[in-house]
Every structure is written in structure tokens, then in C-alpha cells.
Structure 1
Amino acid sequence: MRQIFLDTETTGLRVEDGNRLLEVAGVEMIDRKLSKAECHFHRFVNPGRDSEEGALNVHGLTTEFLADKPKFAQIVDDFLDFVKGSELIIHNAPFDVGYLNMELGKLGRGKIEDYVESITDTLKMAKDLWPGKRNSLDALCDRYDVDRSGRTLHGALIDCELLAEVYMAMTRGQDSLLIDFAPTAEENASNLERRNSSQPLIITQASAEELALHQKYLDALDKTVKGSCVWRELEPLATIEGNPQ
């Protein structure tokens, strides 16, 4: 499955006021594995107008900086080739989709929905998971312990990268964990060969630091499943088997 975490920056909040798109970025993930940086998409766009003061304070992209950047018409083909056939994952999707459809409409290129498989709104997902809570991207980063220390201003690319980490945490249920850690056929064969050999099994004990990291990881899983994750239930069994009474 090919998924694209997408974000835009604009000259203002309301597309109805003639505001335009000035930055667009997408981070690619295939089968829950993020692609290398060179596979991502990031373009600044000359919007042909100044940003509203409030928007400028958020993204910091001045008219002077954007003056020599391409118009949206000059990047549209590259952008559509990048997103074609994917699932778009966007935080507060109606906002970004509204701007993309406005820009595409001006060029007679239809709507973004015409080019992608589906669009997933992580803000709606978060509201379903955490009703009544703050569910901005910043709030979700804090909730899922995603490091955003490198983010001083809003930027489309860094917001995509943060959203990817948040989405992985939001969707990391027990089934996906088992899939993530399932051995390959080659690993199964290798494990079987080792079990059938006469060599003694070497057991390496986890260090105190590794145990602390393991507990932190389980704490995050507990938050995600709103209770005790399956590994918590297995820990007492492992202790009994490893230290028989």
C-alpha cells in the first residue's frame, strides 16, 4: 500500500478570500515503511500575492523569498505524478484539499480526488480516538511522545514527517505489531536449523537501559489501546517460566 502524508502552507486561512497555496510537501510510505528522503516531494510556490499577517507569523515564508519560486502551474505535473494512485493522509484534510482543488480548478485539472485512491483525515481519526481533547498536530506529538523540538515555524515538509510518526503511533494496534515483527520464511528456516542443532542456546540478558526503553515503549502502547497491551499480559508468564517457583 502506497500512502502519502501531505501538507500545504498558504497565504491565509480562507480560500474564499483569494488566498493561494505557497508550499506543498508529501512524504511517501509503502507498507508502513517510510521511503528515503529522495522519494519525497517538496516545492515552494510563488502565490502571486502577499501572505496575511497571521499566516506569515505561522510559516515565515515572505513575499521576497517566494518571488523567484515557480508558479503552481509549473509544478502541477510533478505533483500529480507523485500522488497518483496513493492514499493521501492529511491532518485537517478539508483545508488542504480545498486549496489543492482551487489551484487545480484554475488550471482546468479537475480535483485532487480524481487522481488519488482515497483521502484520510487524521484530525477526524484523532477526534474519534480522543473526543473532547486537543487534537492539533502539536498536541498529538505530545500525546504520542513524538519529538518536535526541531520545529520552530510551521513548514509543510517537517509537518508531513511529524504526521507520519503520529499516524504510525495512532494505528499501531496489536495486529500491526504482530505483522511488523513476523519473521520471514528465511528467518523461520534459520531458526529451525538452530533449534535442531546440538549447539547450546546462547541467552543474552537485556541491559538496564534496554529494559527502561522497553517499558517506555509499552507505556506508549498502553496509551494507544487505552488499557493494557497484550505484552503486559505476557510479561508475568515470561517471569514464571524464566524463574520457576
Structure 2
Amino acid sequence: MNDTGNGRGSMAHPITIDELAERLVAGADRARQIVALAGPPGAGKTTTAARLEERIDALAPGVAATLAMDGYHYDDRVLVPRGLRPRKGAPETFDVAGFAHMLRRLRADDEDEVAIPVFDRDIEIARAGARIIPRTARIIITEGNYLLLDREPWRSLSFDATAMIAPDREVLRQRLVDRWTHYKLTPEEMVAKIDGNDMPNVDLVLSQSRPADYTIRT
């Protein structure tokens, strides 16, 4: 397993969630591991992270915990003055330094518990201190669009294992349509959201991410 992927030109190893869980648990008696699940919008990262945590918990109860990159969205109070509200979810709308600091804090493994932020999609706000990661958690699953993005400051993020979740582009688009339909966007808002923001972010992740150790098909 490599720090930030295998480097350009190498092939990621296809793996199932069950296989990945078994590999991670095999090393859970050593130093705390940070595992990155990357993928474009609509790839199913949150669901995959929850399933991976569930599988790990079945093998070694209490060993896994999840940190979502979405908890580090800038608030609208920052995005609106910067003219970035329509691009919420793009790389420049995240507090990457804050996220990196949390990864270092978790890797240090010197606190009994660490409070982390959780993004509430229903109200488009990150809730501070909304989840606790206890010291007993030896495998930290972190998920987000840009964890393997090949540009700074994202390139400096460090992980012990990486996996890319990348369904077909048209599957991603349909999932995004389903997502925003649930939130009752008008047709005009839907076009602006998907074609003006989500799909450009999809293409960015698919074309400019560093290779992962593993690929997970959903």
C-alpha cells in the first residue's frame, strides 16, 4: 500500500468491499491506518464508506470510523462573498488545510477521542463536532471527490491505502439527476447544478486524479 497511490501510468487493482475490509483488518493491530475512498460526484462514496465500515466492524468490532471530506465545505458566508456559491462542491470550495490538519491529528493517535465535522446536505451546512472518533478506531475511512486530485494542496494529502470508485459517466449523471430531483429543484436549477457544476467536477476527478491502489466498481 502506498502513501498517495501508485503514481501515473500504473494500474489499480480491482477489489471488492469485502476483500478490502479483510486486508485492512489484517493490519489493524499496527499503527492507525488512514484509507482514502475517492471518486467523482454521484459515485456512491458515502454508501461505499458505510458498507466498508460495516464489513470491518463485522470482522473487528469498533475498529473502523469514517471521516467525510464534505465536512470541510466552506460555509456560504465564505462562498458568497468570494463568488463561489454556484460552484459549491468544486475543489476551491473546501478547507483543504483544515482537512489535512484533521488527518494529521488522527494519525498522531494521541487523544482519547476526536470530534469531527459532518456535512448536512439537507441544509447545506457542515455541523462542527457532529461525530466522535474514539481512540479505539484503528482504521479511518475518509471519502471525498478530490482526495487523489493531482494538484496542490490536494496532492500533499497522505494516506496508507487508496481506492477509486468510478462508475460510468452516464451512470454518474443519472445518479446526480436523481439526487437533485429528491431536493425538488426546478428544471432550470437542475441544469445549472448538474451541467454548470457537478459534471465539470465529475470530469475533473476522472481526468486529473492520481492512480489509486485499488478500484471499486459499484
The structure with the largest helix share of the pair is 1
The structure with the largest strand share of the pair is 2
Bigger Cα Rg:
1
Report if TM-score (shorter chain) is over 0.5: no
TM-score by length of 1: 0.24
* Structure showing greater relative contact order (alpha-carbon pairs closer than 8 Å, 6 or more residues apart): 2
